[in-house]
Amino acid sequence: MIDRRRQSIILDVGSFRGADFDSDHYRVFAKLRERLAVNKKAARKFEGERFNLRKLNELEVKEKYQIEITKRFAALEDLDFDEDVNRGWENIKENIKISAKERLEL
């Protein structure tokens, strides 16, 4: 009833002999394993910027990065973000990206 290619997706098959739904046939059930095809190239594709985070293991680079981030966040504390949270988040994100670009480039 099923070809060999799809034979492995069937987990369990059975019938309900006592099910009464005004027919001379038996009700059949099956448990199947669903398989989804995933495009591996699309899963690995990343549009954002990449940084070499292993450089943070070096003590000198780590200290410079921390100083850079501290300076940038000190400048952000003076700004007023109470009106728009999204604008504040964008500023924080951009400051982190700029600092990482300067210190952790690939």
pLDDT at 100 over 70: yes
Instruction: Give the start-end residues of each E strand in the chain.
Output: 10-16, 27-32
Whether 44 shows a pLDDT value over 70: the answer reads no
Give the pTM.
0.50
* pLDDT confidence bin for 102, thresholds 50/70/90: confident
Are the C-beta atoms of residues 19 and 30 closer than 8 Å to each other?
A: no
Phi first, then psi: what are they for 7, rounded to 5°?
A: -65, -35
Instruction: Report the distance separating Cα 31 and Cα 34, nearest Å.
Output: 10
Q: pLDDT of 46-72, one tens digit each?
A: 677 778 888 888 899 889 889 988 888
Distance CA 59, CA 55 (A): 9
